[in-house]
Structure 1
């Protein structure tokens, strides 16, 4: 649907700084770098986290997809490096860290998409096997509700549990919470007392978006976030996808409606399109596929040509980072 307009309060910067202090061990002498922008929640999180914790904020002018960025990590003596799984995959595919020294890094972090375990192993090996802290949250929370913890061993592609001062339950299909020690999978329900979380939206009904229809737990109505998560036998957590029509592409949350609106005008022979995200069997970032229905009487389309048209339309009108992996009709 329509993107939400989410106002922040004075509590949000405090929550940003608290999360990075507690989960990334961000210290005054650290040099912190995370490719992002102010249109994504990681932008303000980076700024407030560095300034309030006294760390140095590293700024790189250019694309994080090239070797120049990787060399900047070395030259700036970055000690805390954040990433998005799609970026790591690009660094690995291009062997962009060859000959570079990333051993000054003591903490790695990632968010925005599901991680590929092999890519995480490669990234960690660049830093003498430093831990990678997984983070998952949202702008409306000013933080992550689930993260890794440096106080325990980290499993690649998995989360340790709720972030500091946060609680959640995993719900079954009837909306009942599973026991906290039971391996399971279902929609997450956040405890409503959440420091830094929003209590209003500028273009939608806040209660309707986040609370209507959510079950009562211990006398309080749970907060909706929309993620499907799995609790493993070992007690770690894996985010499996979304319970709504949104998807994570290139680290950016978007809706199928936004993509379909752009793709519908990519070719005159199209009647309608449907955008779906596909989770690779081996894990890793979601992949975008566009299903197309042709108008009656339209000549047969070439799937690769149609894919190229979708790609150009999305890059021009939506986001240049979104990649169309398949086109079917």
Structure 2
């Protein structure tokens, strides 16, 4: 059974020091519950107050926060004009009290470090913007950013925003084919890339990969390279040369109808979806969630273990900088050259807010970590996948020393942030989300489209919010089909969730991962949590496969905590363990003991690859995986041991 006793309770003095408490009371509200209800009932009023709370600068004031109340196609901040770089950079760089504060702090796995102040960042952005215009780039052009986690990557994104170029950051670990897919989908005419990237001490030639992708497309006209080597291609524009241009003083002002960036999903089904985000959409939502929900403020240091191609990369940039915090970047493997490396970095750089995934924590549990001291951490934020209770408790006890709150946070690329999360104004229970996020009219529907509590159903949002994607790039029909066809008039997010009467949420997995076995619907995370609760199990992933009797049967892939267990004995024991906790009908059909699970670089377990390997489907593109060899070894293992398919 899940522990429903709060593990962390806020003290009154701490509550009163949060930005959320002060803002809420300034607007006349004394409880989170009352404020939340107002935030979803008075949509225009709330998002007007929200942008004020994070200090958005407008060149031309808007007429109304919600100018067109169409859920699928709302119009936000009608009539307003702005450029988000003035809020994210210039506001702090032109203030004598903040201009010398850290804006970007960076380190790579080789131990190289750099620090830029807000004044430094402004200078880099303005020089790049001038160089972009000098080389013929203009408002409305589309640029793919294929770069490591570097300070220059941040400057490039902001410089594109300054001149109105639409940018699309993609995962720095992609091979040429997924990179080419995104170039073709976006119609990009510009690629910005690095010459190389180092992972676990090995140098990977990014420029070569970009060249291979460009040859598979026909739209690229300009290639800009941040070079750290002597390898160059004819016609390349060197980023370092652009940084020598005289700084640009003028700014391109845009309306909220103008796209800021295109964020492509990982494409777990079909071709990747390009979520379109605008200048007062994604940045406002990211800044609001970071500042008012996570309590990130001026002078704080926000770090997320991510890549700029994942949603939390741009979230880090806009959520941190708009709130006047320093954004902390790490480029490399978190456990290289040793397991203490990342933790030491977080400590030395005085990180105050640390974003991670449950998978990262499960890996850390198996490492030989000595004493972890994080005296500056105010909150640990978790996103990316559902928790199991044991890893959550380990993180809270060992890393958080039983006093640092763990803020669960879940939304997505198309949301610009979170739908449900954890507020610092309420107690926090292990694994769970203690609130819907302000402004997000979240609910849980059953199959008949009825609102339910204490019952697992589909997570939906019943009103529009700032930050929701303005459709998919060049594919509006797919956007409408993806989110608005399941239930009429509401956004169906695709998560399987249970909500209790007190507003607590428990996400059990993606609804398209739901397994229907013997008439019972079960999310993979439910069975995985039971398995991880066994002392022999380090990690688990569960899939559903066709079964003549049950419709679908459970097949489990297990990474053990120790190699001292006998395979056959352990498999039988684990089947009994699941059956005794979940019911005999949910006893797994098969359990496979493997060395590792296939994961993306940001820590998500890719269950579709396990299912594909089980069903002997052709090998897909694996360039988004942290270690593609894991998938290959699983395929080989199944061919040797599988008799059921």
Bin of the TM-score, shorter chain as denominator length: 0.7 to 0.9
What pairs up with 1:224-263 in 2 under 5 angstroms?
Answer: 224-232=492-500, 235-244=503-512
Q: Does 1:282 align with 2:530?
A: yes
Q: Supply the distance in 2 between the matched residues of 1:167 and 1:23 (Cα, whole angstroms).
A: 16
C-alpha separation in 2, matches of 1:60 and 1:277: 31
Aligned equivalent of 2:272? 3
Structure number having the greater helix percentage: 2
Q: How does 1:21-36 map to 2 (within 5 A)?
A: 21-36=291-306
1:60 aligns with 2:330: yes
- Please give the residue correspondences for 1:1-329 in structure 2 after superposition, counting only pairs within 5 Å: 1-10=270-279, 11-65=281-335, 66-96=339-369, 98-125=370-397, 126-129=399-402, 130-178=404-452, 182-204=453-475, 205=477, 206-215=479-488, 221-232=489-500, 235-244=503-512, 279-282=527-530, 287=541, 316-320=622-626, 327=638, 328=642, 329=645
> Is this contact kept in 2: 1:146–1:162, CA < 8 A?
yes
- Displacement of 1:43 in angstroms is 0.5
Aligned pair count reads 281
> What is the RMSD of the two structures over their aligned residues, measured on CA atoms?
3.2
Task: State the 4+ residue runs in structure 1 displaced beyond 3 angstroms.
Answer: 232-235, 276-279, 283-286, 288-292, 302-305, 307-311, 313-318, 321-329
Structure 1 residues 314 and 75, CA gap change in structure 2 (3 angstroms): farther
Structure 1 residues 169, 25: closer, same or farther in 2, change over 3 A?
same
Matched-pair contact (CA < 8 Å) for 2:436–2:503: no
| Contact 1:314–1:320, Cα closer than 8 Å, also in 2 | no
CA drift of 1:119 comes to: 1.6
- In the TM superposition, what is the alpha-carbon distance from 1:229 to its structure 2 partner? 0.3
Q: Which has the larger radius of gyration?
A: 2
Partner deviation per Cα, 1:89-127 (whole Å, 9 max, x = no partner) = 11121033x223112211011010111222222222223
Residues 186 and 290 of structure 1: is their aligned pair in 2 closer, same or farther, counting only changes over 3 Å? Answer: closer
SS class of match (1:18): helix
Distance change >3 Å, CA 321–CA 147, structure 1 → 2: farther
Contact 1:103 1:127 (8 Å CA) reproduced: no
Alpha-carbon distance in structure 2 between the residues aligned to 1:145 and 1:304 = 34
Structure 2 contact 454–498 (Cα < 8 Å) conserved: yes
Distance 1:68 1:288, change over 3 A: farther
- State the TM-score, normalized to the length of structure 1: 0.76
TM-score normalised per structure 2: 0.40
